[in-house]
Amino acid sequence: MTENVKLSSEVVYDVKDLNLWYGKDQALRNINMQILKNRVTAIIGPSGCGKSTFIKTLNRMIENIPVVRTTGEINYHGTDIFDKSVRLEELRTRVGMVFQKPNPFPKSIYENVLYGPKIHGIKDKKILSEILETSLKAAALWDEVKDRLDDNAYGLSGGQQQRLCIARCLAVQPDVILMDEPTSALDPIATSKIEDLIETLKNQYSIVIVTHSMQQAARISDKTAFFLMGEMIEYDDTNIIFTSPRDKRTEDYVTGRFG
């Protein structure tokens, strides 16, 4: 199967020799990794190993922290995202992000979903309402909220909020969706809904998900990368990582011997 994936898959991200420092502290060391199209890629590793740092580098959100410095390349569909010609706005509409804590805007559900299309200049009411419905349906939220689209998003439960954030992200039809522990603030039922959702979304989107639940990684991902202290120790098909990892440290981690 490993062979298979490699051959048939298109590369979305090609990360080359990525290093990253917070001031003087190096948080990522020499990461080399290819992220594949229409696959769910899980990033696992103990706390502080650089998972969030890495995923935030993929849409350059990390640059909001002023002390950050990077070297290396991240090629997104062949273009280095660090290149001067790359417009952040464009990169980030193509690469959506879902955060650990649901972070809807304190606006109506309607305004939340359509935030992206609106700021990017879509004004046509008909198009907007189409986007609204499609995105909410795709995020498996439509039925629950269709009668209260004008309510404030903060009236929703945590799990619904997180799906709303996913809908908001889908509304601009991204190419990749980055998720940083999207279920860690949710209860088990909400978690399983989101996991199901990820399952269906991967047909259309490439998904990178950080998780600290190995069960979750095993359940939903196709590929898994194991990070440790800023290094990518191992990256392979998920079943290989969880059944026969090549590296002793990966094995220790996935069998619960540390972390």
Partner 1 sequence: MGSMPNVREMIQLNISKNKNTSDKIMPKFLFVTASISILTTVGIILTLVIDAAKFFSSVPLAEVFSTNLSPLGANPSFGILPLINGTIFTTLIAMLVAIPFGLSSAIYLSQFASESKRKILKPMMEVLAGIPTIVYGFFAYSFVTPLLMKIIPSLEAKNVISPGIVMGIMIIPLVASLSEDAMNAVPESMKEGALGLGSTRLEVAFKVVIPAAISGIMASFVLGISRAIGETMIVAIASGSSKAFTFDITRSMQTMTAYIVEFTSGDAGSGTVGYYSLYAVGLLLFLFTLIMNLLAQYISKKYREEY
Partner 2 sequence: MNLDVQIKNTAPLKNNLTLKTNPDNKGFEINMKKMKHRIALDKVSKFIFSLSTLVSLVVLGILIYRISVQSIGWLDMDFLTSNLSIFPEKAGIKGAILGTLYLMSIVIPVVCILGVSTAIYLEEYANKGKIQSFIKVNISNLASVPSVIFGLLGLAVFGRIFSLGSSILAGGLTMSLLVLPVVVVASQEALRAVPGYLREASYAMGASKWTTTWKVVLPVAVPGILTGVILSVSRAIGETAPLVVLGVPTLIMKLPTSIMDDFTAMPIQIYYWTLDTVLTKEYANLAAATIVVLLLVLFIMNFTAILIRNKFQRKF
- Point out which residues bind partner 2 (CB under 8 A): 6-7, 9-12, 14, 32, 34, 36-37, 59, 61, 64, 66, 76-80, 83-94, 96-97, 99, 101, 103-107, 115-117, 119-122, 152, 154, 165, 168-169, 172-175, 204, 235-236
Residue type present at position 92? R
Assess 99 for contact with ligand ATP (CB under 6 A).
Answer: no
Q: Which is nearer to partner 2, 22 or 115 (CB)?
A: 115
Instruction: State CA 223 to chain mean position distance.
Output: 13
Instruction: Determine the interface stretch with partner 1 among 17-25, 72-80, 121-129, 139-147 (rule: CB under 8 A).
Output: 121-129
Q: Which residue matches tokens 């799906």?
A: 163
Q: Residues 157, 158, 161, 166: what is their CA dihedral angle, to the nearest 10 degrees?
A: -140
Contacts to ligand ATP from residues 186-245, by CB under 6 A: 212
Question: Token pair for residue 39?
Answer: 């696959």
φ and ψ at residue 254, rounded to 5 degrees: -70, -20
Phi, psi of 211 (to 5 degrees): -145, 150
Show contacts of 63-66: CB within 8 Å, 24+ apart: 65/22
What residue has token string 């991204």? 174
Question: Would you state the structure tokens that stand for residue 234, as one six-digit string?
Answer: 């191992």
The encoded tokens of residue 153 equal 């998003």
Is residue 107 a contact residue for partner 1 (CB under 8 A)?
Answer: yes
Residues 199-228 that bind partner 1 (CB under 8 A): 204
Q: Which CB atom, from 175 or from 251, has the smaller least distance to partner 1?
A: 175
Are 80 and 74 a contacting pair, CB within 8 Å?
yes
Binding track over 18-37 against partner 1, x by CB under 8 A: --------------------
The token pair at 6 is: 């490699």
DSSP strands (E only) in the chain: 11-22, 25-36, 40-44, 68-76, 79-80, 95-98, 176-180, 206-210, 223-228, 231-237
Number of residues that bind ligand ATP (CB under 6 A): 13
CB of 183 to partner 1, least distance (A): 16
146 binds partner 1 (CB under 8 A): no
Spatial separation of the C-alpha atoms in residues 222 and 41, rounded to whole Å = 6
Residue 152 as a binder of partner 1 (CB under 8 A): the answer is: yes
Interactions with partner 1, residue window 40-59 (CB under 8 A): 59
Minimum distance, C-beta of residue 180 to partner 1, in the bound complex (Å)? 10
* The one among 41, 52, 53, 93 contacting partner 1 by CB under 8 A: 93
**Token pair for residue 63?**
């640059």
Q: 228 forms bridges with which residues in the sheet? A: 231
Task: Write out the residues near partner 1 by the rule CB under 8 A.
Answer: 59, 61, 64, 66, 87-94, 96-97, 99, 101, 103-107, 115-117, 119-122, 127, 130-131, 134, 138, 152, 154, 165, 168-169, 171-175, 204
